[in-house]
């Protein structure tokens, strides 16, 4: 598998009732007007308009939005801490150095994940890790995070981590949550809660980084990329269909960023460049996922699946870091050894100013970069007439 290189590219929102009481009518009338004129909107735009209406109604009427988060190390908040044999953990220094309390929590960054920041912008607590909860906990009614470092769409992705929760495992755990909901509030109320909740899904990076791109693993040798992406999409379609069967209706799939430009991939280039082939594969994957979601929206009753494409935003952040207040984007703040995994180990040397770096380790954005990316992500799903004020950075 030959990989070429190329450098050329093919806020916190005010959630008070007073603020939104004055603009929610305009929001709602605008969105419903769009929904009533579907001929002028793509399927994706229709779904995003529905999310916007959901958001405005929830904010203006008072009840909190409930979110369930699925994914990998980009959104994990500590599930792998509870997997005794897992090698995909970040519960040691210097992870969490800029998180509240300054302690490692299992988040694969120096501070907050994108999911944490999205929760802040929605005005809700960041959902706790599934494995930290009992099915009797009231917390399962307010949102849960199922994400697991090393997870992928395919069960054998990240196999060398020994223990992790694949996307299939995470759906199994949501099924357990659903049963817990039924016991607490009854079947009808549980169905209503699930149909109104927002399901955030960010998965697929590890299927490349910790599977297909690894020369010693079978999938990269066994499949052409066309065959591999076909396997990913068919498996993902089955998984999203199962989530729908379990009651999920409003699902947001976060597309992949330019994986060929993360530090762990750049080191494979002689001159530290982005890997062109990897980025082309990612673009192909994102396109196929969008088509899959459109098909599921047509064929699954009440399904409202949206695709959040932040590829261009991440590319721009990496290639124009100074426009966002950063100085370095081609290597990580933590001086990692990519030959032994690329994580920030306790004996690693840190950069002097963590807000100047886009990447924290060889794979994951820094807290400061996550703020930028979360704002981009949020603006895609919940566009507003005026730019949001920036989410505050922690004090380093």
| Residues involved in catalysis | 73, 361, 364
Structural tokens at position 207: 């299927």
Helix or strand run (H / E) with residue 359: strand 357-359
Q: Identify the burial level of 215 via C-beta atoms within 10 angstroms of its C-beta, where 0-12 means exposed, 13-18 middle and 19 or more buried.
A: exposed
Task: Tell me which residue of 99, 68, 347 sits closest to 201, measured CA to CA.
Answer: 68
**For the chain, what percentages of helix, strand and coil (3-state, to nearest 5) are there?**
50, 10, 40
Distance of alpha carbon 128 from alpha carbon 145, whole angstroms: 6
For 19, other C-beta atoms within 10 Å of its C-beta total 13
Three-class DSSP category at 168: helix
Rg of the chain, C-alpha, whole Å: 20
How is 195-214 classified by DSSP, letter by letter? HHSEEEEE--HHHIIIIIT-
Three-class DSSP category at 14: coil
Task: Tell me which residue of 291, 377, 388, 385 sits closest to 31, measured CA to CA.
Answer: 385
DSSP 8-class letter at 131: G
For 338-369, b/e burial (b = at least 16 CB within 10 A) is: beebbbbbeebebbeebbbbbbbbbbbbbbbb
Three-class DSSP category at 48: helix
The stretches of the chain forming alpha helices (DSSP H) are 17-35, 43-61, 114-122, 167-185, 187-196, 205-207, 218-222, 225-245, 263-266, 276-299, 311-319, 367-381
């Amino acid at each position: 598998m030959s990989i070429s290189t190329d450098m050329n590219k093919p806020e916190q929102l005010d959630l008070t009732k007073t603020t939104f009481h004055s603009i929610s009518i305009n929001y709602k009338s605008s969105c419903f007007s769009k929904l009533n004129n579907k001929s002028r909107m793509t399927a994706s735009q229709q779904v995003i308009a529905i999310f916007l209406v959901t958001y405005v109604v929830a904010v203006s009427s008072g009840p909190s939005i409930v979110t369930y988060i699925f994914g990998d190390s980009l959104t994990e908040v500590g599930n792998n801490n509870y997997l005794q044999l897992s090698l995909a953990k970040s519960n040691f220094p210097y992870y969490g150095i800029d998180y509240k309390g300054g302690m490692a929590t299992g988040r694969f960054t120096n501070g907050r994940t994108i999911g944490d920041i999205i929760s802040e912008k929605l005005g809700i607590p960041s959902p706790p890790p599934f494995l930290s909860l009992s099915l009797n906990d009231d917390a399962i009614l307010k949102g849960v995070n199922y994400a697991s470092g090393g997870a992928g769409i395919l069960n054998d992705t990240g196999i060398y981590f020994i223990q992790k929760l694949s996307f299939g495992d995470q759906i199994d755990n949501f099924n357990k949550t659903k049963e817990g909901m039924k016991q607490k509030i009854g079947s009808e109320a549980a169905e209503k809660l699930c149909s109104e909740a927002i399901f955030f899904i960010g998965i697929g990076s590890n299927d490349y980084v910790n599977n297909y791109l690894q020369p010693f693993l079978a999938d990269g040798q066994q499949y052409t990329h066309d065959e591999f992406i076909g396997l990913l999409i068919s498996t993902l379609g089955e998984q999203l269909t199962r989530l729908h069967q379990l009651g999920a209706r409003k699902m947001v799939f976060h597309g992949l960023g330019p994986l060929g430009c993360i530090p762990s991939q750049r080191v494979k280039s002689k001159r530290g460049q982005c890997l062109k082939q990897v980025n082309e594969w990612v673009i192909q994957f994102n396109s196929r996922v969008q088509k899959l979601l459109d098909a599921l929206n047509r064929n699954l009753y009440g399904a409202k699946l949206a695709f959040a494409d932040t590829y261009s935003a991440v590319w721009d952040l990496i290639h124009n870091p100074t426009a966002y207040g950063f100085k370095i984007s081609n290597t990580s703040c933590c001086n990692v050894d990519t030959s032994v995994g690329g994580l920030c180990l306790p004996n690693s040397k840190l950069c002097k100013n963590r807000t100047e770096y886009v990447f924290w380790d060889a794979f994951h954005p820094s807290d400061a970069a996550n703020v930028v990316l979360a704002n981009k992500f949020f603006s895609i799903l919940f566009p507003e007439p005026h730019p949001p004020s920036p989410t505050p950075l922690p004090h380093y």
